[in-house]
Structure 1
């Protein structure tokens, strides 16, 4: 949900809450340079390209009178309730939206230059989901000062592999862990086992290292998937029996604590 403030002829600004309701078609004139016009500003700092594009398309389709001021959408005050409702509608379709940390607000800085891209994406999604006010400058994260301890714990959890996939709708195939272990166990004992070979060749392309089964830490699952991919590579490179056995044994060892 975007941060909202108002500006008017007196130059003062007032923070407001976002209201709900059903959006209606718009047919109103708007002169943003009119000194008597009270305006509502929606701060969209942190919105993604696709979210911006969807908003712009919706504004055009519904004829919403507006102007852009950097990262802020500016509309006349008299249609505030309708635009609030439009944002509620969009949030249900393409949200959640980031809560921006405004320039000048008390903040804590975290330098994340050494973080891998996958962990940064997980962090970004987690901050949005938790509605933590934040702002990015390249790979430096600024968060609301009163959220410092929460973010510290979140960073530790991501580094430890204890935060699941950033894709809430994604999930590992049912029984993937047990199927991997079973196939690895058979191949470790018999590298020519045809059913085990077929099973692992069919299953591994469906796996993502960032989408663990329920109850498995992301770091552990990433290791398991990497070792399963190593088994597949051995088959693709000619299936040397000794190499297949060794790769399957490593996969079996990685899976064993979780089955």
Structure 2
């Protein structure tokens, strides 16, 4: 990270004499793509089909400070909040009801990027490309199961991820209302995949009765690893596993890639 930040700060300090500091505020929506298999739907008669998609569907809100180091070239540091839509990852129908599992995510991400725009006092077009780095966030998984007669099960868990590095890019246009204020709109894409780190069960009820307190730690927490063997805390591989410790499972990868559209306003402050 230091290798990335230091050159950017150096460029900013060299250009402050002629730089235009700007601040953008924008909001948009992302459509998850390209999709992969999230799970399956199973009909009452046993027919199955795949569910395709990503966890990249959702609202993006951005605060973007930047420097224009001249008329055409600049750098930005996007501060991005992502609020994912609920996505079904598994569904099974029975004569009595449905067993359905959904996921949605919230993230805070930074997006250092390079920015190029055309000239023009009233109108300009631009392109930007850079990195997408999630700093905070989790995936909420909720399972509602009333597919068995007289039985209703609810389980809610939260999964955190490892540090990840993604990519972002966009094309757009600016409409300038004088030198200090403007409107912009853009289309773009994010490519981001995050490896799972831990999962913790937050809620577990059966017919409305809490089960979490009496559930062994082994079934409430998961630590994700890249290999399972005879020394892992997993009864499928090690009969001496501890029920009072988090169980180990193979690491998973969540896909947050999407195509997005967004609109915003930009304030420009010209340096001396």
Task: Please say whether Structure 1 and Structure 2 have the same fold, judged by a TM-score greater than 0.5.
Answer: no
TM range (shorter): under 0.3
Structure with the bigger RCO (C-alpha within 8 Å, sep 6+) is 2
TM-score (normalizing by structure 1): 0.22
Larger % of helix: which? 1
Larger % of strand: which? 2
